[in-house]
Amino acid sequence: MFETLTALPPDSILGLSAAFKKDPNPHKIDLGVGVYKDEQGNTPILECVASAQHLLLASETSKVYITPQGNQGFIDGMLRLLLGENSFVLNHNRVAAVQAPGGCGALRILAELLIRIDENTTVWVSDPTWANHMPLLGDAGLTLKTYPYFDKDNASIKFDEMMDCLSKVGPNDVVLLHGCCHNPTGADLSKEQWQDVAALAAKVGFLPFVDTAYQGFGDGIEEDTYGLRLLIDSVDEVIVAASCSKNFGLYRERVGLAAIICKDEKTRDIAQSQIQSVARGIYSMPPSYGGALVDIILNDKALYTTWTNEVNAMRVRMATLRQMLVTNLQQQNVDKDFSFINAQKGMFSFLCIPPQQVQQLRDEHSIYFVDSSRVNIAGINHNNVGTLAKAIAQTL
């Protein structure tokens, strides 16, 4: 049977990681895989997570299945984090939600739910978008189309083109929006632009699908919810996929949230039964450990304060790394103006250079990032930024 299968090319990012590991160059630089790294190039366990682990170990008395929807303390804490302590939709019981195995699991659960509603559903994603959006949504059977988003030549958002495209989508179409820290470009909508998008959603009737994986890495934990909360205030229905991989550092624990904001409580109850049924059909019961840790952190005042301080420190450090890279590139007297990097937010930035130059940096300087020119800003440090800037200058 299996002889009928054909080999597939390696995943672009995972293949890049494998190539980096094999490279013998002691000065190689990894800017590919999207994980936070400290000054020493490590991805540490956050202090709040380490403390939560001790508390969980001391209090956990069983390894029996948790409930099908997941850890309720995790769900409640995440919804307050995303929607606000005094959220109108939460107070009126309009939100259905389940704990998911990572942000990827949340995306897939919501995709499968959309297929149940209408197998011909079209989802519009930004051009470009995170590469894994395509298989996570498309393999569920959804039709994917793209709307203009980023102009590489000018390193800016094509907002007028984006709005023109979205004004013509169908009233039952779904539009995927990045809640903050757009992956892969780092180019985020302004508050005014979010207001225009929300008004358009209300006018056209499309369903906003917000993917938020980097809350706290853009402008702040509270500030990064602006677009999501505005959409919820503007339209009756919104769906949300959230990840705890980046801002809690729980990459390997795979914990996320799939949430549906409904127009009323009755619809919410139906949606809750359906979303739990989707999850049951995919993996039966959710894993407990990561959700239990986030539950402890979000519902313990001291640990919550520690977590917010750690997220703020990561955000500030990445902003500093952006400034450091731009300064070093300017010192190399490159012809290209890279100051746009300082305006981008979060973990990623587009260098806006062509694939052949990305390949040249890899072949001649052992600097690894994806062909789109997306770099993981957190992979930069004081020891490698000079090497990186010099290599980019020589390649250009």
Residues serving a catalytic function are 130, 211, 246
What's the token pair of residue 171? Answer: 């009233």
In 3-state terms, what secondary structure has residue 29?
A: strand
In whole angstroms, what is the distance from residue 251 CA to residue 206 CA? 32
For every residue of 295-335, DSSP letters joined together read HHHHT-HHHHHHHHHHHHHHHHHHHHHHHHHHHHHHHTT-S
**In this structure, are residues 358 and 373 in contact, taking their beta carbons and an 8 Å threshold?**
yes
> Helix H segments across the chain?
12-22, 47-59, 72-83, 88-91, 102-117, 133-138, 159-166, 191-204, 226-234, 265-283, 289-298, 301-331, 340-343, 355-365, 385-395
Paired sense of beta strands 174-178 and 207-212, if any: parallel
Which residues neighbour 323 within 8 Å (Cβ) at sequence distance 6 or greater?
Answer: 342
What's the CA angle centered on 315, arms 313 and 317, to 5 degrees?
65
The closest of 122, 85, 128, 72 to 276, measured between CA atoms, is 72
**What values do phi and psi take at 378, rounded to 5?**
-70, -10
Paired sense of beta strands 156-157 and 150-151, if any: antiparallel
Amino acid at 358: V
In whole angstroms, what is the distance from residue 78 CA to residue 179 CA? 15
